[in-house]
Chain A
Protein backbone atom coordinates (compact mmCIF):
# COMPACT_ATOMS: atom_id res chain seq x y z
CA UNK A 1 0.00 0.00 0.00
CA UNK A 2 1.45 3.37 -0.99
CA UNK A 3 1.90 5.82 1.87
CA UNK A 4 1.00 9.48 2.21
CA UNK A 5 2.93 11.54 -0.33
CA UNK A 6 3.98 15.12 0.29
CA UNK A 7 5.92 17.63 -1.78
CA UNK A 8 8.17 19.46 -1.71
CA UNK A 9 10.38 18.06 1.07
CA UNK A 10 12.12 21.36 1.67
CA UNK A 11 11.31 24.97 0.86
CA UNK A 12 13.11 28.22 1.64
CA UNK A 13 11.31 31.49 0.97
CA UNK A 14 11.58 35.12 1.99
CA UNK A 15 9.02 36.65 4.29
CA UNK A 16 5.95 38.04 2.55
CA UNK A 17 6.33 35.51 -0.26
CA UNK A 18 3.78 32.78 -0.97
CA UNK A 19 4.22 29.02 -0.75
CA UNK A 20 2.08 25.95 -1.40
CA UNK A 21 2.36 22.39 -0.17
CA UNK A 22 0.78 19.33 -1.72
CA UNK A 23 -0.46 16.09 -0.17
CA UNK A 24 -1.75 12.86 -1.66
CA UNK A 25 -3.33 10.65 1.04
CA UNK A 26 -3.64 6.89 1.12
CA UNK A 27 -6.31 5.70 -1.29
CA UNK A 28 -9.69 5.35 0.39
CA UNK A 29 -8.83 7.47 3.42
CA UNK A 30 -11.63 9.98 3.77
CA UNK A 31 -10.02 11.94 6.61
CA UNK A 32 -7.06 14.21 5.88
CA UNK A 33 -5.15 16.42 8.33
CA UNK A 34 -2.62 19.21 8.00
CA UNK A 35 -0.39 19.76 11.03
CA UNK A 36 2.22 22.40 11.77
CA UNK A 37 5.19 21.26 13.85
CA UNK A 38 7.54 23.90 15.16
CA UNK A 39 10.99 22.64 16.18
CA UNK A 40 10.90 20.99 19.60
CA UNK A 41 7.10 20.94 19.83
CA UNK A 42 4.31 18.48 19.11
CA UNK A 43 2.24 18.65 15.92
CA UNK A 44 -0.50 21.27 16.01
CA UNK A 45 -3.63 20.62 13.96
CA UNK A 46 -4.27 23.30 11.36
CA UNK A 47 -7.17 21.80 9.43
CA UNK A 48 -9.06 18.52 9.12
CA UNK A 49 -11.03 17.41 6.06
CA UNK A 50 -13.64 14.68 5.79
CA UNK A 51 -13.77 13.92 2.06
CA UNK A 52 -13.79 17.44 0.58
CA UNK A 53 -15.50 19.12 3.52
CA UNK A 54 -13.77 20.97 6.37
CA UNK A 55 -14.39 19.40 9.79
CA UNK A 56 -12.12 21.61 11.90
CA UNK A 57 -10.08 24.68 10.99
CA UNK A 58 -10.24 26.41 14.36
CA UNK A 59 -6.44 26.79 14.61
CA UNK A 60 -5.82 27.79 11.00
CA UNK A 61 -4.65 31.44 10.71
CA UNK A 62 -7.19 32.25 8.05
CA UNK A 63 -5.78 35.67 7.26
CA UNK A 64 -2.76 34.00 5.64
CA UNK A 65 -3.34 30.24 5.46
CA UNK A 66 -5.76 28.46 3.17
CA UNK A 67 -6.34 24.82 2.30
CA UNK A 68 -8.48 22.89 -0.08
CA UNK A 69 -9.21 19.30 -0.92
CA UNK A 70 -10.85 19.17 -4.29
CA UNK A 71 -12.67 15.93 -5.19
CA UNK A 72 -11.93 14.59 -1.72
CA UNK A 73 -8.48 13.23 -2.61
CA UNK A 74 -5.38 15.46 -2.95
CA UNK A 75 -5.00 18.54 -0.81
CA UNK A 76 -3.00 21.76 -0.96
CA UNK A 77 -2.05 24.08 1.89
CA UNK A 78 -1.06 27.65 1.02
CA UNK A 79 0.55 30.43 3.00
CA UNK A 80 0.27 33.97 1.66
CA UNK A 81 2.10 36.04 2.78
CA UNK A 82 4.58 34.05 4.88
CA UNK A 83 5.99 35.29 8.17
CA UNK A 84 9.18 34.29 9.96
CA UNK A 85 7.16 32.42 12.60
CA UNK A 86 5.71 30.14 9.90
CA UNK A 87 9.06 28.32 9.77
CA UNK A 88 8.13 24.76 10.69
CA UNK A 89 7.53 21.29 9.32
CA UNK A 90 4.11 20.88 7.71
CA UNK A 91 2.78 17.35 8.06
CA UNK A 92 -0.06 15.76 6.17
CA UNK A 93 -1.80 12.67 7.52
CA UNK A 94 -4.75 10.52 6.52
CA UNK A 95 -6.89 7.87 8.16
CA UNK A 96 -10.13 6.02 7.84
CA UNK A 97 -13.02 7.82 9.47
CA UNK A 98 -13.91 6.83 13.01
CA UNK A 99 -14.86 3.16 12.98
CA UNK A 100 -17.28 2.23 15.70
CA UNK A 101 -16.45 3.88 18.99
CA UNK A 102 -12.71 3.59 19.21
CA UNK A 103 -11.06 4.82 16.00
CA UNK A 104 -7.98 3.92 13.99
CA UNK A 105 -4.41 5.08 13.50
CA UNK A 106 -3.28 7.93 11.26
CA UNK A 107 -0.63 7.63 8.55
CA UNK A 108 1.78 10.51 8.05
CA UNK A 109 3.77 11.79 5.12
CA UNK A 110 7.42 12.78 5.47
CA UNK A 111 6.52 16.43 5.84
CA UNK A 112 7.66 19.66 4.21
CA UNK A 113 10.28 21.66 6.07
CA UNK A 114 9.63 25.35 5.49
CA UNK A 115 12.21 28.00 6.30
CA UNK A 116 11.15 31.64 6.07
CA UNK A 117 14.05 34.10 5.96
Chain B
Protein backbone atom coordinates (compact mmCIF):
# COMPACT_ATOMS: atom_id res chain seq x y z
CA UNK B 1 0.00 0.00 0.00
CA UNK B 2 1.14 3.56 -0.64
CA UNK B 3 1.82 5.61 2.48
CA UNK B 4 2.15 8.96 0.75
CA UNK B 5 0.39 10.78 -2.01
CA UNK B 6 2.08 13.54 -3.96
CA UNK B 7 0.31 16.53 -5.36
CA UNK B 8 0.19 17.54 -8.14
CA UNK B 9 0.58 14.36 -10.18
CA UNK B 10 2.21 16.37 -12.94
CA UNK B 11 3.74 19.84 -13.10
CA UNK B 12 5.05 21.77 -16.09
CA UNK B 13 7.07 24.97 -15.61
CA UNK B 14 9.60 27.06 -17.45
CA UNK B 15 13.28 27.19 -16.65
CA UNK B 16 14.01 29.67 -13.89
CA UNK B 17 10.64 29.26 -12.18
CA UNK B 18 10.14 27.59 -8.82
CA UNK B 19 8.51 24.19 -8.51
CA UNK B 20 6.54 23.11 -5.45
CA UNK B 21 5.26 19.63 -4.85
CA UNK B 22 3.43 18.30 -1.84
CA UNK B 23 3.25 14.99 -0.03
CA UNK B 24 0.62 13.77 2.40
CA UNK B 25 0.96 10.65 4.50
CA UNK B 26 -1.25 8.66 6.81
CA UNK B 27 0.60 7.54 9.93
CA UNK B 28 3.27 8.83 12.29
CA UNK B 29 6.82 8.78 10.96
CA UNK B 30 10.46 8.81 12.01
CA UNK B 31 11.50 10.76 8.94
CA UNK B 32 10.37 11.75 5.49
CA UNK B 33 12.64 11.58 2.45
CA UNK B 34 12.47 12.91 -1.09
CA UNK B 35 13.87 11.04 -4.08
CA UNK B 36 14.27 11.91 -7.75
CA UNK B 37 13.92 9.46 -10.62
CA UNK B 38 15.01 10.24 -14.14
CA UNK B 39 13.24 8.33 -16.87
CA UNK B 40 14.30 4.69 -16.92
CA UNK B 41 16.74 5.08 -14.06
CA UNK B 42 16.96 4.26 -10.37
CA UNK B 43 15.94 6.60 -7.57
CA UNK B 44 18.38 9.13 -6.18
CA UNK B 45 18.09 10.43 -2.63
CA UNK B 46 17.68 14.21 -2.39
CA UNK B 47 17.01 15.11 1.22
CA UNK B 48 15.87 13.63 4.55
CA UNK B 49 13.91 15.57 7.16
CA UNK B 50 13.49 14.19 10.65
CA UNK B 51 10.15 14.11 12.41
CA UNK B 52 11.38 16.73 14.92
CA UNK B 53 12.46 19.15 12.16
CA UNK B 54 10.20 21.63 10.40
CA UNK B 55 12.38 22.86 7.56
CA UNK B 56 15.57 21.83 5.80
CA UNK B 57 17.61 23.24 2.95
CA UNK B 58 20.05 21.66 0.52
CA UNK B 59 21.29 23.79 -2.37
CA UNK B 60 18.22 24.78 -4.42
CA UNK B 61 15.99 22.43 -2.43
CA UNK B 62 13.81 23.42 0.50
CA UNK B 63 11.73 20.86 2.37
CA UNK B 64 9.13 21.53 5.02
CA UNK B 65 7.40 19.07 7.31
CA UNK B 66 4.16 19.57 9.24
CA UNK B 67 3.58 16.50 11.37
CA UNK B 68 0.29 17.86 12.72
CA UNK B 69 -1.09 17.90 9.16
CA UNK B 70 0.91 14.84 8.08
CA UNK B 71 2.27 16.69 5.09
CA UNK B 72 5.52 17.82 3.52
CA UNK B 73 6.47 20.05 0.64
CA UNK B 74 9.49 20.12 -1.66
CA UNK B 75 10.44 23.43 -3.26
CA UNK B 76 12.96 23.55 -6.11
CA UNK B 77 14.08 27.11 -6.76
CA UNK B 78 15.36 28.47 -10.07
CA UNK B 79 14.53 25.25 -11.89
CA UNK B 80 16.63 23.92 -14.74
CA UNK B 81 15.84 21.60 -17.64
CA UNK B 82 17.96 18.97 -15.87
CA UNK B 83 15.44 18.98 -13.00
CA UNK B 84 12.95 17.24 -15.30
CA UNK B 85 12.18 13.98 -13.49
CA UNK B 86 9.69 12.26 -11.21
CA UNK B 87 9.85 13.14 -7.53
CA UNK B 88 8.75 10.79 -4.76
CA UNK B 89 8.34 11.19 -1.03
CA UNK B 90 9.06 8.21 1.21
CA UNK B 91 8.41 7.66 4.89
CA UNK B 92 10.00 5.68 7.68
CA UNK B 93 7.42 4.64 10.23
CA UNK B 94 8.33 4.06 13.89
CA UNK B 95 8.80 0.47 14.90
CA UNK B 96 8.92 -0.93 11.38
CA UNK B 97 12.62 -1.79 11.26
CA UNK B 98 13.37 0.87 8.63
CA UNK B 99 10.58 -0.05 6.23
CA UNK B 100 10.61 2.66 3.55
CA UNK B 101 7.24 3.35 1.91
CA UNK B 102 6.90 5.51 -1.20
CA UNK B 103 4.22 7.82 -2.47
CA UNK B 104 2.71 8.05 -5.92
CA UNK B 105 5.08 10.69 -7.31
CA UNK B 106 5.00 14.05 -9.10
CA UNK B 107 6.22 14.25 -12.71
CA UNK B 108 8.02 17.55 -13.22
CA UNK B 109 8.69 18.92 -16.70
CA UNK B 110 10.96 21.95 -16.98
CA UNK B 111 11.00 23.56 -20.40
CA UNK B 112 13.48 26.04 -21.85
Binary B-proximity of A10-53 (CB < 8 A = 1, otherwise 0): 00000000000000000000010101000001111100101000
Contact assessment for B88 and A42 in the assembled complex, using a CB-CB cutoff below 8 Å: yes
B25 to chain A, nearest CB (A): 12
Given A101-B30, A102-B30, verify A45-B101 contact (CB < 8 Å): yes
A95 / chain B contacts, CB cutoff of 8 Å = 98, 100
The total number of A-B Cβ pairs within 8 Å is: 78
**How long is the Cα–Cα vector from A84 to B37 in the complex, in angstroms?**
24
Interface size class of A (residues with CB under 8 A): 20 to 34
Contact assessment for A108 and B44 in the assembled complex, using a CB-CB cutoff below 8 Å: yes
Contact assessment for B97 and A91 in the assembled complex, using a CB-CB cutoff below 8 Å: no
Contact assessment for A107 and B48 in the assembled complex, using a CB-CB cutoff below 8 Å: no
Given A56-B99, A111-B42, verify A98-B88 contact (CB < 8 Å): no
**How long is the Cα–Cα vector from A60 to B70 in the complex, in angstroms?**
27
Contact assessment for A42 and B103 in the assembled complex, using a CB-CB cutoff below 8 Å: yes
**In the complex, which residue of chain B has the Cβ closest to the Cβ of A4?**
B42
What 5 A-B pairs have minimum CB-CB distances, sorted nearest first?
A108-B42, A105-B45, A42-B102, A102-B50, A98-B98
Binding site for B on A (CB under 8 A): 4, 31, 33, 35, 41-45, 48, 50, 55-56, 59, 91, 93, 95, 97-98, 101-111, 113
Binding site for A on B (CB under 8 A): 1-2, 4, 30-31, 33, 35, 40-45, 48, 50-52, 88, 90, 92, 96-105
Known pairs A59-B1, A95-B98, A111-B41; list 18 more (Cβ under 8 Å). A42-B4, A45-B102, A48-B98, A56-B97, A91-B42, A93-B43, A98-B30, A101-B30, A101-B50, A102-B31, A102-B51, A103-B48, A103-B92, A103-B98, A108-B42, A108-B44, A110-B41, A110-B42
